[in-house]
Amino acid sequence: MPRIILILIIIFLLTNHTIGQVKEEKFFYMTSTGYSNHPKCIADKWRDGKTALNTPIREGVVAINVDLIDGEWVVKSPLELGQKIRIEGMGDYICEDTGYFSDINFKQDYWTVDIYMESYEEAVEYGRQLRKVYVLND
């Protein structure tokens, strides 16, 4: 009997399950802003009610920044399209939309996440806030 217990302990340790093991959370400090499907937020040619991933634009969606390089859109964010995130004090979101990357504010835009809000007024009221952004599925 003691031999079986010893074998089980060895198997347990070899499979990387240690007592008290905690998964390290991945997060970034990012500037968050609000945006809506309003002409002052989105150019008319992009105001079709769809995200960059062709899903309906809705609350719970965030946009990350992209840049047009050699005719191709390239993500310019530490976050990725399709990634689920948690914005501290706000809730859970999914990165399904993109916003144009500004050459003028490179560092600022790279560390920006835009939260979709139903109304333009709500987005303006939210303004710019520094938030901790956790990656939920990495």
- Token match 């989105």: residue? 42
Is the pLDDT higher at 132 or at 1?
132
Kindly state whether residue 19 falls inside one of the protein's structural domains: no
Q: In 3-state terms, what secondary structure has residue 8?
A: helix
Mean pLDDT of 115-133: 95
Domain that holds residue 93: 24-135
Q: Are 92 and 60 in contact (CB under 8 A)?
A: yes
For residue 1, pLDDT beyond 90: no
Other CB atoms within a 10 A radius of the CB of residue 120 amount to 16
Helix (H) or strand (E) holding 129: strand 128-135
Kindly state whether residue 15 falls inside one of the protein's structural domains: no
Kindly state whether residue 1 falls inside one of the protein's structural domains: no
Amino acid at 112: T
Kindly state whether residue 56 falls inside one of the protein's structural domains: yes
C-alpha 61/C-alpha 46 separation (Å) is 16
Give the total number of structural domains in the chain: 1
CATH of the domain at 113: 2.40.40
Kindly state whether residue 92 falls inside one of the protein's structural domains: yes
Kindly state whether residue 3 falls inside one of the protein's structural domains: no
Per residue in 94-107, pLDDT tens? 999 998 766 555 55
Kindly state whether residue 128 falls inside one of the protein's structural domains: yes
DSSP 8-state assignment for residue 60 = T
The pLDDT of residue 138: 59
